[in-house]
Structure 1
Amino acid sequence: MDYIAAGNVMLDTVRFADGSRSNREHIGGPSTFAYSGIRLWTDSVLQCSNVGADYAELFLPWIEKNRIDTRGLKVKCDHCNHSFLVYNPDGTYGGDPEVERFRSDWVQDFGYMKTSPEEIGEFTRRGGVKGVYLAQNVDYVFWEKLDAIKKRDGFKMMWEIESPSSYKRYLPDVLNAMKTVDIFSINIQEAQTLFEVEGEEACIAELQKMPVDVTLFRVGKKGLYSVTPDKVYFVPSAPVDREIDPTGCGNTSTGSALYAYAEGYDPLMIGIMANVASAQNIRQFGVIPDFAAVRAQAFAQAKELYEAYPRGEGC
């Protein structure tokens, strides 16, 4: 396979500020959404995640429909991490205080469900992997191990920073992890706390100092910036016929950006393809349900948006 989406799985329930909600749990989590962002464009991708035994009821119909390779999914304990999200009027979100935590959450807290560098390396060592996605913290030992695997196997690395690591006191640790990273993803709330600045322009100025080729700087519903050390493209959100649930749009766009980067697209197209994937994700609760049904549409939309982009706007 060409790509690996590694990391955590969630089973999500969503409640919005107006009181509306999902009527059941839906499959999600950073690696699942990132997998969907890559799978939108290519079948050659594997999800490498540790799951609970309860994943099967929700995951298996989706797996069978899309003929998903399950070699990277390992049952580690009773329950997946169940996530109960409540969206605020401004689009931010947090955990639902009305819901008692599942024991899977404390299993997750103690690391049972974390994907290890060695688990990723089981698949990259076979050769031919172009890119790996991972949402991860800044632990030094983890990154040392992953760096050695990357040097051995030669893939490109997309890192989506986990929010608890995005504080100024961890900036030296972030820079240490960056030694292994080719393309980086962060949202505006995380960037503001990481650099202790306010506003998009100040964040972009700091992100341009990062030792990576491209940063996907996500600014919520309005879209994203594709940031390189010497150029910045603002890419508005892609048009979409309906907006149901934004959960996982950041992960989906990040996985898509890895694909575009590793395939050699320029920074503008990387941002556009990321937004096209996000637009597909927001059309329903949970992940994209049928990749084959929307792939041609996604490629066509990305091409149209790229050709229509005002060429004077990269700065």
Structure 2
Amino acid sequence: MRYIIASTAVTDEIRFADGRNVEKVAGGAGIYALCGVKLWCDDVMLATGVGADFDSIYGDWYRKNNLSMEGLIIKDEKTPHTVIQYFEDGEREEIPLYGPDHYKKIETVPEDLEGYFKSAKGIYIFKNSDEKYWKQILKYKKNSPAKVMWEIGSDATFEENYSLVKGIAGQLDIFSINIGESVKLLGKKELTDIIKEYQTWGLPLVFLRRGAEGSVMITPEEAVYVPSQTGVHVADPTGGGNSSSGAVLYGFCEGFSPEICGIMGSISAAMCISQYGVPEEITEEMRENAREKTGLA
């Protein structure tokens, strides 16, 4: 596979601040990033741990969307089930129903990914700043043709962690982070100051996500503002960042401009937030519409 998604596949139970509840939808950063790439490319696969029950729960969805399950590794009897609680301020809390130890047992470890670094074109990783984890990943990347995107976990975005995060990100190709996480990581509130700071990192691309306000595609030389898609009914914001990140990774690896990458990200995000959980099926019509919006049709 040319594109590898290294992150979780779980069952989400979503509780909104207004009292609405949505039970048992496919979720996890990995599933959303997988959909983000799938809208543009068939050559994508999720590589992660799952429970033995995963096929009975989500196998039909995989088959309907012609997705390979070869990257899934059975690590327990049960697939993780996460309760996501949204709050009035837009923040959220994620609670693993079977406990943090079970969730950690299922997570992707570097050894699960070693083989993919030899052949993949792009690898998406959703992770915190675990030094042991990244030491092994960076070892694999050293002689790999793959471009790597790091979408940072929010638990790693605090100011005291700045040097560690910058040091890891500086050895990768794309860094994906949202505006709230950036404020906490950099200790800066003004958007212009945040952009200038990321430009000093020297990365080929920083994907700064701003929710409904779109994104900023940051390179050492420029900052391109990309608006979000208009006319989108937001049923569930879960996974918008993950799906957009997956699309940006694909666009970057295929050689598109930062602006086009950002537009692709906004289109994939719009697709994933338009219903609860991931789309039931990513159709050829959806793909054609996406290509038309980017001028790639």
Would you call these one fold, judging by a TM-score over 0.5?
Answer: yes
Please list every run of 5 or more consecutive structure 2 residues that lacks an aligned counterpart in the other structure: none
1:30 aligned onto 2:23:
no
1:85 aligned onto 2:84:
yes
1:254 aligned onto 2:245:
yes
Shift of 1:241: 4.4
Shift of 1:244: 1.0
Residue number in structure 2 paired with 1:310: none
Which moved further from structure 2: 84-93 or 34-43?
Answer: 84-93
Shift of 1:286: 1.1
1:173 aligned onto 2:164:
yes
1:120 aligned onto 2:113:
yes
Q: Which of 286, 289, 295 in structure 2 is aligned with 1:297?
A: 289
Residue number in structure 2 paired with 1:48: 47
Q: Distance in 1 between matches of 2:31 and 2:10?
A: 8
**What is the aligned length?**
295
User: 1:52-63 alignment to 2 at 5 Å?
Assistant: 52-63=51-62
Which moved further from structure 2: 256-265 or 287-296?
Answer: 287-296
Shift of 1:257: 0.4
Residue number in structure 2 paired with 1:15: 15
1:187 aligned onto 2:169:
no
1:198 aligned onto 2:197:
no
Q: Distance in 1 between matches of 2:46 and 2:94?
A: 25
Shift of 1:61: 1.5
Q: What residue identity is the alignment partner of 2:62?
A: I
Deviations 1:95-147, CA, capped at 9 Å, x for gaps: 47xxxx52243322xx312212221122333x2x1100001122222222112
TM-score by length of 2: 0.93
Shift of 1:253: 0.3
Q: Distance in 1 between matches of 2:263 and 2:281?
A: 21
Residue number in structure 1 paired with 2:126: 135
Shift of 1:15: 2.0
Q: What residue identity is the alignment partner of 2:35?
A: S
Shift of 1:81: 2.4
Contact 2:170 2:201 in 1 (8 A): no
Q: Which of 222, 228, 235 in structure 1 is aligned with 2:226?
A: 235
SS across alignment from 2:142:
helix
Please list every run of 5 or more consecutive structure 1 residues that lacks an aligned counterpart in the other structure: 305-315
Which moved further from structure 2: 115-124 or 1-10?
Answer: 115-124
Residue number in structure 2 paired with 1:69: 68
Contact 2:75 2:106 in 1 (8 A): yes
Deviations 1:47-98, CA, capped at 9 Å, x for gaps: 10101223233311211101211110111013222221222233222247xx
Q: Which of 73, 94, 101 in structure 2 is aligned with 1:106?
A: 101
Which runs of structure 1 show a deviation greater than 3 angstroms over 4 or more consecutive aligned residues? none
Residue number in structure 2 paired with 1:155: 146
Percent identical: 32
Q: What residue identity is the alignment partner of 1:120?
A: L
Contact 2:202 2:219 in 1 (8 A): no
- Cα RMSD of the aligned pairs, angstroms, is 1.7
Contact 1:240 1:280 in 2 (8 A): no
Q: Distance in 2 between matches of 1:288 and 1:206?
A: 36
